[in-house]
Amino acid sequence: FGDIIGNAANLAVFVRQAINNGLQFSWLSKAKIRYVLRKYAYFPKYNLLPVLMASSSYFLPAIFINKFYGQEAAGYFDLSKMLLSVPLALGGSALASVLLQRYAEKYRERISISKEISLLFFAVSGLAMLEIAIIWWFGVDIFTLFFGEKWAYSGTLSQILVWSYALNFIVSTFSSIFVALQRIKLYSAWQVLYFGGIGMLVFASYLPFETFIQWFVAVEISAYVLVLAASIYVVHGYEKSLKRN
């Protein structure tokens, strides 16, 4: 119920700000709506199922751990995941939304984005490295201080998991590039591959728990390196198209 109220409030604020900025509903017409639907039909066509699969990939590891290693192991994993996801929740998603609008505008106006992306990449990478350093050196102490001695093992797991979550923070910041530069098919293909990689972890369920976590991190890092390479490929292709014109 609270989620419904929160989303309703966000929608109300959005509509009010849009009206204050000059939005007029008289501009809308059936012809314009049909045009927009035709123009952007490929977004849900190529991305709806992959998005669902990628979202499922977020929950699958916890499900596997709970099933094969028990509730206690799943609890340690969930707490580690919750703390390591804080940077992404606080800044990564919001920054990605801002960049989507910014790069979409530059794409329409045929303006270079490579220099801006390079500077932002180094800044975000610095924050990710800071997270790795903090968790690597003080992870167990942080979990013990805030959650008690019982949860110290979550700190140990975090020292393994932090590498993939830090890389995820970098990658998620630039994920909007695929949408802004209209390369959604490539990103959708990666989401399907990512889902497949996470799903393959079920075959590692016979391994000791920490070894399973290491395999999970290996799959995550491989997937994020792949999508990072795809991002570079997309930006490079866009920059080359600007030079040709």
pLDDT tens-digit map of 87-133: 766 666 667 777 888 888 888 889 999 998 999 899 889 989 999 99
Averaged over 63-89, what is the pLDDT?
Answer: 91
Predicted confidence at residue 80, as pLDDT, reads 95
- Decide which of 8 and 132 is more confident: 132
Range in 14-28, 53-67, 122-136, 199-213 the model is least confident about: 14-28
Burial of 35 (0-12, 13-18, 19+ CB in 10 A): exposed
- How many residues in total does the chain contain? 245
pLDDT tens track for 151-164:
999 999 999 999 99
Averaged over 161-177, what is the pLDDT?
Answer: 91
**What percent of the chain lies above the pLDDT cut of 70?**
82
Range in 2-6, 136-140, 178-182, 208-212 the model is least confident about: 2-6
Q: Which residues contact 188 (CB under 8 A, 6 or more apart)?
A: 46, 47, 50, 51
Contact (CB, 8 A) for 164 and 26: no
Rounded distance, CA 79 to CA 74, Å?
9
pLDDT-based confidence at residue 14 (cuts at 50, 70, 90): low
- Say how many CA atoms lie within 13 Å of 72 toward its Cβ: 5
Predicted confidence at residue 98, as pLDDT, reads 75
Nearest alpha-carbon partner for 130 in 100, 182, 86, 98: 86
- Report the predicted TM-score, pTM, of the whole model to 2 decimal places: 0.83
The CA-atom distances, in angstroms, between 202 and each of 73, 194, 220 are 16, 14, 15
Predicted confidence at residue 40, as pLDDT, reads 63
- Mean pLDDT (the chain) is 86
Predicted confidence at residue 26, as pLDDT, reads 63
Rounded distance, CA 161 to CA 170, Å?
15
Range in 38-47, 138-147, 199-208, 211-220 the model is least confident about: 38-47
Residue 132, token pair as written in the block: 């790795």
